[in-house]
Structure 1
Amino acid sequence: MKTNKQLLVIMHLSQLITLVTGFGSLLLPLVLWLTQKEKVYEMDEHGKNIINFQLSLIVYCLICVPLILVFGLGLLGFVVLGVFSILFPIINAIKASNGETPTYPLSINFIN
């Protein structure tokens, strides 16, 4: 296995593809993770963190839909999730470039 910090950074930033295309924040990191997890050192750990974060965002978005009826709390939830989905991939890309292990808040462990 080789160390490739640039690919780890790209993988974290690939979640932001949704800002350009409207979709792909789960798909692109998933493809990168599945194709490179055996070849790049720490790719498996970073990939699992990203996939768990993206799946958690989907679950939280589904929870926000019925909460719209409760005083608009779902709308506030969507705003918070939107900020999280932009901010934390950037923060964790910086951490990955510095050799640190990234963490995503409120992430449910779907994949260990």
Structure 2
Amino acid sequence: MTEPAAPAPQPQPAAPFSEAEDKQYATLATFLNIILLIPALIFYFAFKDRGPRIAEQSKENLNWTINISVIVVAAWILSIFFAFIPFVGWIISLLLGLIAWAALIVNLIFSIIGGVQLSGGQKTSYRYPFAIRVIK
């Protein structure tokens, strides 16, 4: 008879961040919000359990990028739809395109402001001024 196989080793949880690493990753997560949604998702799911500052900031960043991504995608889809309607539709399509670009510029500005405030030690967390908090 053969002996039963040993159980597979369980993965160990990642080590918690030091205070400096926690601040560094929270700042990096905020700066990388310039790129929509993907960095926020990565930081939220990969690092939220490793430090209190990154947990709070990654949740805030994800909420912000969800809002901005929805605005940009909806504006682009509606812009394409209205582009097929002559004259009035073209004007509406142009305005929706401008709204999408304005949302991207607002995202760029607030991500830089938040990253600078976090890196300079002015704040321990940065809350975006107007965002619907989807993730509590």
TM-score w.r.t. structure 1 length?
0.78
| Residue of structure 1 in register with 2:37 after alignment | 26
Structure 1 position 51, deviation (Å): 0.5
Give the secondary structure class of the aligned counterpart of 1:42.
helix
- Residue 103 of structure 1: how far off its partner (Å): 1.8
- 1:111 partnered with 2:129: no
Which deviates the most, 53-62 or 32-41? 32-41
Give the aligned residue type for 1:94.
V
The more displaced of 86-95 and 35-44 is 35-44
- Tell me the CA shift for residue 71 of structure 1: 6.4
2:118 is equivalent to residue 81 of structure 1: no
Decide whether the 8 Å contact of 1:5 with 1:99 is kept in 2. no
Cα separation, 1, equivalents of 2:95 and 2:134 = 26
Q: 1:6 is matched with which residue?
A: 24
- AA at the equivalent of 2:55: D
Question: Could you say which structure has the larger radius of gyration?
Answer: 2
* 5+ residue gaps, structure 1: 19-24
Which structure carries more relative contact order (alpha carbon 8 Å, separation 6+)?
A: 1
Q: Which amino acid aligns with 1:55?
A: I
Amino acid at match of 1:41: P
CA RMSD of aligned residues (A): 2.0
Residue correspondences, number: 105
Identity of aligned residues (%): 18
Whether the aligned pair in 2 keeps the contact of 1:56 and 1:106 (CA below 8 Å) is no
Is the 8 Å Cα contact of residues 13 and 89 (structure 1) preserved in structure 2? Answer: yes
- Which of 37, 43, 57 does residue 68 from structure 2 map onto? 57
From the superposition, tell whether residues 36 and 99 of structure 1 become closer, same or farther in structure 2 (CA, over 3 Å): farther
Q: What residue number does 2:114 align with? A: 92
Q: How far did residue 99 of structure 1 move?
A: 4.8
Task: Give structure 2 stretches of 5+ with no counterpart.
Answer: 1-15, 83-88
TM-score (norm 2): 0.66
The SS at the match of 1:9 is helix
